Structure 1
Amino acid sequence: GLAEVPGALILLKNVPAALATYCEDTMVDVTKWPMFSLMGPQELASIRKACVFGSSANEAIYITNDDEVFVFGLNCSNCLGTGDSLSTIVPKKLDFLSGRKVVSLTYGSGPHILLATEDGELFAWGHNGYSQLGNGTTNQGVAPVLVSANLLNKKVTEVACGSHHSMALTDTGEVYAWGYNNCGQVGSGSTANQPTPRRVSSCLQNKVAVSIVCGQTSSLAVVDNGEVYGWGYNGNGQLGLGNNGNQLTPCRLVGLQGLCVQQIVSGYAHSMALTDEGLLYAWGANTYGQLGTGNKSNQLSPVQILTEKERIVEIASCHSTHTSAAKTQSGQVYMWGQCRGQSIVLPHLTHFACTDDVFACFATPSVMWRLLSVEHDDFLTVAQSLKKEFDNPETADLKFCVDGKYIYVHKAVLKIRCEHFRSMFQSHWNEDMKEVIEIDQFSYPVYRSFLEFLYTDSVELPPEDAIGLLDLATSYCENRLKRLCQHIIKRGIIVENAFSLLSAAVRYDAEKRKLSQSCV
């Protein structure tokens, strides 16, 4: 009875992730990042792209539907670009960037920011102790400045940052790098810092690059035939070259020979590649299990993981975390590595709908692994669609009348969700005679909550009404609904309603015993 109440949640949205992600561009909720939780609905609705960054995920930048750029947060190293060093919890607009369509944005550890526009212009600001802003100085950039040295007449399409070095990719497939170069991460053939953008040549000279990423002090590029090249620090094997020696110029990953790589990502000191066949390879540091191999041993060459799973369509990691994530074709999202301090050495299936949620909830710090696109479209998940159609007279094919009020439902949903209705709607059911079903043994709030539960898996009732719903759940043999009602009643007992609830509980128990005896 009421004395034994399991620890169920009042609101349970038990919808598999696979059902929640029919399309690849799943709508993302930016409020999963605490930085955005103080914003009102109107402000949130205006956000088109966003990025949370910083050593403690304490800075954020977002672009609105009107191509206005706003920033807020702690403002370490002037990384907000507001022209001063002041922190702000209220978003400030960067007027200098107004109207410029942002196509790529990334951040370093200083932090410093790189931003590329649709017109191919590159802007930088923030920490500049190693000339990572590309302006030839080491002065901090307090506001966005156009990076023009060696990039005149070049159209930048993609940017990437390591801890204190920067990279840019042009529309012609050229790779430029600059900034900190103690391990060769700029790819210039030396370890001298590079104050302005310099083209990465060597064996990339006649190649067309299509993607670039950075680890903390390493760099990777994918070229148009699917080959991968790496350079920079390699002490953990993050370049995947089969050794742990630093590489001052780009070198092809022989371990991926014969494969056509479509996406690469880098963590703090590990890397991953996704092939055109949906196969996932990982290499480098593995202290936290971020390679997903089942152990914590570093890998100097690429090894395939998630081999028993379905096709992988997206992989995720970023240079300031030891966390990895992947998404399958059916929408399942896996995570591994450092997850809220724990070391997850094998890919763990989550209930997330997208890889971005992994970083919002489990990465340390909880930064974004990419510039997040927030799609405000009309796409609804299966659960959302069902909830929307409950009590909708336009699509319903059946209605209940309770206390003189109608509740509109769909016979198919009721048959799928409840054995009571499945038995009721047998082939001999006369639909012409039963357009309206009269209910007189339960109140309108109780019966409506029951029908809504069949559409949403949730119950929202005061404890006084939950007694009646518990009675209904018992009559209809809905055990899960019984547990939810018991939980609501137990959690809702206060001095003012204790007597009435006790009376109802005693009456309910007596009626149940009487029914049991009559059945015997």
Structure 2
Amino acid sequence: MEEEEERQNLPGEEHSGRGGGGAWSWGAGSEGQLATGRLDDEPVPQFLPSLSSVLPISQIACGGAHAIALTSNGSVMTWGRGKSGQLGHGDSENQLQPKVVELLKDTVIRSVAAGWNHSGFVSDIGCLYTCGDGSYGQLGHGDYETQSLPLKVLYFNSKHVAQVTFGMRHSLVLLEAGPPGELVYSFGSARHGQLGVAVEKGFRSYNLPQVVNGFGEDHITVICANGDQSAALSGEGHLYTWGRGFGGTSNIPVPQLLTSHLAFSQVALGWNHALLLTYTGEVFMLVGARHGKFSGSEFKNLESVGAVPHMHDITALYGLKATMIAAGAEHSVLVSECGDIMSWGWGEHGQLGLGGTCDQATPQIVRICNRPSNSSISFRVYCGSGFTFTVGAT
């Protein structure tokens, strides 16, 4: 107990940092992915001096057992599992603390992504760099090789990449501009339809980017991937999903539009469920048959959906308003309008941050020790497969 208190109860002023409100992590930590400097699972949030002392963090991308931090000035740090070179340091070593990616020190990065064992970085001039496991073509370099240093994806040399997102063994890219039908690209494993493209007979993966069709005239502004699933949001808030069917249902090989009168601003994919956030702050779930599954007594069923084969139902979380959502393999996290962090789902590694390892069927408030009292501090949340990060920002 004394050791636990020493880990968490640092003086409040030490939590302010240049990052605004500090950074915390919890959950699976056996490969250093929590940035605590230890190889332990942590069932309660741990304050992270290594991240809280740097420039404001604009994004954290979490993968299978590694993570990437992007600062406001465009620099990147990586840590956690490095066996496939996904940390971008030129080796295959794990890192217990955040380490600057030296090869990108002179490049301003604006977007990052982490897959199971691969990483991506988008520069301010729209160049995409990838590293890590390439055995399914998920790096986009036209081969199936592993890269331990970030390597530019030459396919996009004449295009401006805006966003990148990774699933377990596949990648999605969104361009800054272009015709509606040529904005989204995919590459990597195609086994479950997660690329959203027509797969030629005998092909199970693509090592070069492929155009994803099926959005009509909708202008896609957000892309999301996790596990073997993919999703996209249009500027009008229309949601498209494709890939492995939730709950063992059939794969969806091309993007399908969710029939709904609601407009969504955020989507977060797990391996067997999805979270949706509307522009008015309402949170809904598309669920499968495992830890994301809820009964009608726990959540109000607001709306039935169209005939999308792998959608089981949509439920609201107690009518709460939220500002951000995130999903791991089989756990979910949100930030409520009043600033509370709430989690539920699979809890085996402490990734819910509730002090134990039990699964939770309903959202529970995560207690952040010595959280800043400044009312202007807002929290953002990010999930890896079995771990969670939160960053406080002014």
TM-score, structure 1 as length reference:
0.54
Distance (whole Å) between structure 1 residues aligned to residue 27 and residue 152 of structure 2: 34
Where does residue 302 of structure 2 map in the other structure? none
1:7-406 to structure 2, matched below 5 A, reads: 66=20, 68-71=22-25, 75-85=29-39, 91=46, 93-95=48-50, 98-109=53-64, 111-149=65-103, 151-202=104-155, 204-225=156-177, 227-243=183-199, 245-288=204-247, 296-305=249-258, 307-318=259-270, 321-338=271-288, 340-342=291-293, 345-350=312-317, 351-354=319-322, 356=325, 359-360=332-333, 361-364=343-346, 369=382
Distance (whole Å) between structure 1 residues aligned to residue 135 and residue 113 of structure 2: 18
Distance (whole Å) between structure 2 residues aligned to residue 330 and residue 254 of structure 1: 29
Measured after TM superposition, the shift of residue 98 of structure 1 is: 1.6
Measured after TM superposition, the shift of residue 331 of structure 1 is: 3.1
Distance (whole Å) between structure 2 residues aligned to residue 240 and residue 208 of structure 1: 21
Where does residue 494 of structure 1 map in the other structure? none
Asked if the contact 1:178/1:196 (under 8 Å) is kept, the reply is yes
What SS class does the counterpart of residue 303 from structure 1 fall into? strand
Distance (whole Å) between structure 1 residues aligned to residue 9 and residue 153 of structure 2: 45
Asked if the contact 1:46/1:64 (under 8 Å) is kept, the reply is no
What do the CA deviations read for 1:76-127 (whole angstroms, capped 9, x no partner)?
A: 1122334443566683543476232211111221x11211112221111111
Distance (whole Å) between structure 1 residues aligned to residue 233 and residue 61 of structure 2: 21
Aligned residues: 314
Distance 1:352 1:369, change over 3 A: farther
What SS class does the counterpart of residue 102 from structure 2 fall into? coil
Asked if the contact 2:23/2:391 (under 8 Å) is kept, the reply is no
Asked if the contact 1:67/1:99 (under 8 Å) is kept, the reply is no
Asked if the contact 1:78/1:85 (under 8 Å) is kept, the reply is yes
Asked if the contact 2:82/2:93 (under 8 Å) is kept, the reply is yes
Where does residue 377 of structure 2 map in the other structure? none
Q: Give the AA of the match of 1:345.
A: H
Distance 1:144 1:373, change over 3 A: closer
TM-score, structure 2 as length reference:
0.70
Distance (whole Å) between structure 1 residues aligned to residue 189 and residue 291 of structure 2: 26
Distance 1:95 1:334, change over 3 A: closer
Asked if the contact 2:19/2:55 (under 8 Å) is kept, the reply is no
**Structure 2: runs of 5 or more not aligned:** 295-310, 334-342, 353-380, 384-388
Measured after TM superposition, the shift of residue 326 of structure 1 is: 1.5
Measured after TM superposition, the shift of residue 47 of structure 1 is: 7.3
Measured after TM superposition, the shift of residue 265 of structure 1 is: 1.0
Asked if the contact 2:18/2:52 (under 8 Å) is kept, the reply is no
Measured after TM superposition, the shift of residue 194 of structure 1 is: 1.0
Measured after TM superposition, the shift of residue 254 of structure 1 is: 2.0
What SS class does the counterpart of residue 214 from structure 2 fall into? helix
Distance (whole Å) between structure 2 residues aligned to residue 193 and residue 84 of structure 1: 27
Q: Give the AA of the match of 2:232.
A: A
Q: Give the AA of the match of 2:241.
A: A
Q: Give the AA of the match of 2:320.
A: F
Where does residue 5 of structure 1 map in the other structure? none
What SS class does the counterpart of residue 91 from structure 2 fall into? coil
Measured after TM superposition, the shift of residue 272 of structure 1 is: 0.9
Q: Give the AA of the match of 1:300.
A: P
Work out which structure has the larger RCO, using CA pairs closer than 8 Å and 6 or more positions apart in sequence: 2
Distance (whole Å) between structure 2 residues aligned to residue 113 and residue 283 of structure 1: 25
What do the CA deviations read for 1:185-212 (whole angstroms, capped 9, x no partner)?
A: 111111111111011122x221111111
Distance (whole Å) between structure 1 residues aligned to residue 40 and residue 107 of structure 2: 34
What do the CA deviations read for 1:281-314 (whole angstroms, capped 9, x no partner)?
A: 111101427xxxxxx2211001111x23232222
Q: Which moves more between the two structures, 153-162 or 139-148?
A: 139-148
Measured after TM superposition, the shift of residue 153 of structure 1 is: 2.1
Asked if the contact 2:60/2:382 (under 8 Å) is kept, the reply is no
Distance (whole Å) between structure 2 residues aligned to residue 329 and residue 195 of structure 1: 40
Distance 1:298 1:91, change over 3 A: closer
Asked if the contact 1:165/1:177 (under 8 Å) is kept, the reply is yes
Distance (whole Å) between structure 1 residues aligned to residue 22 and residue 345 of structure 2: 28
Computing the radius of gyration from Cα coordinates, the structure with the larger value is 1
What do the CA deviations read for 1:11-63 (whole angstroms, capped 9, x no partner)?
A: xxxxxxxxxxxxxxxxxxxxxxxx9xx978996x9979xxxxxxxxxxxxxx8
Asked if the contact 2:8/2:47 (under 8 Å) is kept, the reply is no
Measured after TM superposition, the shift of residue 347 of structure 1 is: 2.4
CA RMSD of aligned residues (A): 3.3
What do the CA deviations read for 1:141-173 (whole angstroms, capped 9, x no partner)?
A: 132221122x24211122110001111111111
- More strand, by proportion: 2
**Structure 1: runs of 5 or more not aligned:** 1-34, 49-62, 290-295, 377-520
What SS class does the counterpart of residue 288 from structure 1 fall into? helix
Distance (whole Å) between structure 2 residues aligned to residue 40 and residue 143 of structure 1: 20
Measured after TM superposition, the shift of residue 264 of structure 1 is: 1.0
Once the two structures are aligned, what percentage of the paired residues are identical? 22
Q: Give the AA of the match of 1:327.
A: L
Where does residue 385 of structure 1 map in the other structure? none
Asked if the contact 1:121/1:156 (under 8 Å) is kept, the reply is yes
